Structure 1
Amino acid sequence: MKELSKENISQEVFDLYDDYAHNRIGRRQFMDKLSTYAVGGITVASLLSFIMPDYVNKIQVSQDDPRLQSEYVTYKSPKGGGEIKGLLAKPADASGKFTRMEMPGIVVVHENRGLNPHIEDVCRRAALAGFIALAPDALTPMGGYPGTDDEGREMQSKRDREEMLNDFIAGYEYLAAHDQSTGEVGVVGFCFGGWISNMMAVRIPGLSAAVPFYGGQPPVEMVPDIQAPLLLHYAGLDTRVNEGWPEYEAALKKHNKDYKAYMYPEVNHGFHNDTTPRYDQAAAELAWDRTINFFKENLT
Structure 2
Amino acid sequence: MQRKQASDFDQKVLDLYDEFAHGRMNRRDYVKHLRTFAVGGLTIEALVSSLSPNYAWAEQVKADDPRIRTETIGYESPKGGGTINGLLARPAEGNKFPAVLVIHENRGLNPYIADVTRRLATDGFLAFAPDALTPLGGYPGNDDDGRAMQAKRDGEEMTQDFIAAAKWLDASKFSTGKLGVVGFCFGGGMVNQLAVRIPDLVDAAVPFYGRQPDPADVPKIKAPLLIHNAGLDQRILAGAPAFEAALKENGKSFEAFVYEGVNHGFHNDTTP
Query: Aligned partners of 1:133, 1:215: CA distance in 2, in Å?
Result: 20
Bigger drift between 6-15 and 163-172 goes to 6-15
The aligned amino acid for 2:150 is Q
Is the Cα contact below 8 Å between 2:6 and 2:14 reproduced in 1?
A: no
Partner of residue 183 from structure 2, selected from 158, 169, 189: 189
Other-structure match for 1:294: none
Q: Is the counterpart of residue 170 in structure 1 residue 164 in structure 2?
A: yes
Query: Aligned partners of 2:159, 2:120: CA distance in 1, in Å?
Result: 21
Query: Aligned partners of 1:58, 1:85: CA distance in 2, in Å?
Result: 21
| 1:160-203 per-position Cα deviation (integer Å, ceiling 9, x unaligned) | 11111111111110111001111111100000000000000001
Query: Aligned partners of 1:169, 1:143: CA distance in 2, in Å?
Result: 20
Bigger drift between 43-52 and 113-122 goes to 43-52
Partner of residue 257 from structure 1, selected from 247, 252, 263: 252
Q: Kindly tell me: are residues 5 and 70 of structure 1, through their superposed partners in 2, closer, same or farther at Cα, counting changes over 3 Å?
A: closer
The within-5 A match list for 1:17-166 is 17-93=17-93, 99=94, 101-166=95-160
The percent of aligned pairs where both chains have the same amino acid is: 57
**Structure ranking higher on relative contact order (CA contacts 8 Å, 6+ apart):** 2
Partner of residue 247 from structure 1, selected from 239, 242, 248: 242
| 1:42-65 per-position Cα deviation (integer Å, ceiling 9, x unaligned) | 111111111100013431111111
Equivalent residue pairs, number: 270
| 1:54-96 per-position Cα deviation (integer Å, ceiling 9, x unaligned) | 0134311111111010000000111111111000000003xxx
Query: Aligned partners of 1:59, 1:76: CA distance in 2, in Å?
Result: 29
Aligned-partner SS, 1:36: helix
| 1:75-126 per-position Cα deviation (integer Å, ceiling 9, x unaligned) | 0111111111000000003xxxxx3x21110000000000000000000011
Q: Is the counterpart of residue 216 in structure 1 residue 211 in structure 2?
A: yes
Q: Kindly tell me: are residues 213 and 4 of structure 1, through their superposed partners in 2, closer, same or farther at Cα, counting changes over 3 Å?
A: closer
Is the Cα contact below 8 Å between 2:58 and 2:115 reproduced in 1?
A: no
Which structure 2 residue ranges, 5 or more long, are not aligned? none
The aligned amino acid for 2:221 is I
Other-structure match for 1:268: 263
Per-residue deviation, 1:5: 5.0
The aligned amino acid for 2:14 is F
Is the Cα contact below 8 Å between 2:91 and 2:122 reproduced in 1?
A: yes
The aligned amino acid for 1:59 is E
Query: Aligned partners of 1:115, 1:87: CA distance in 2, in Å?
Result: 9
Query: Aligned partners of 1:47, 1:109: CA distance in 2, in Å?
Result: 29
**TM-score, normalization by structure 1:** 0.88
Query: Aligned partners of 1:235, 1:4: CA distance in 2, in Å?
Result: 19
Per-residue deviation, 1:4: 5.8
Other-structure match for 2:225: 230
Aligned-partner SS, 2:205: strand
**TM-score, normalization by structure 2:** 0.97
Bigger drift between 157-166 and 191-200 goes to 157-166
Query: Aligned partners of 1:53, 1:175: CA distance in 2, in Å?
Result: 29
Other-structure match for 1:281: none
Other-structure match for 1:292: none
Is the Cα contact below 8 Å between 2:58 and 2:111 reproduced in 1?
A: no
Query: Aligned partners of 1:135, 1:241: CA distance in 2, in Å?
Result: 23
Aligned-partner SS, 2:117: helix
Query: Aligned partners of 1:182, 1:4: CA distance in 2, in Å?
Result: 41
Query: Aligned partners of 2:4, 2:224: CA distance in 1, in Å?
Result: 41
Other-structure match for 1:298: none
Supply the RMSD in Å over aligned alpha carbons: 1.3
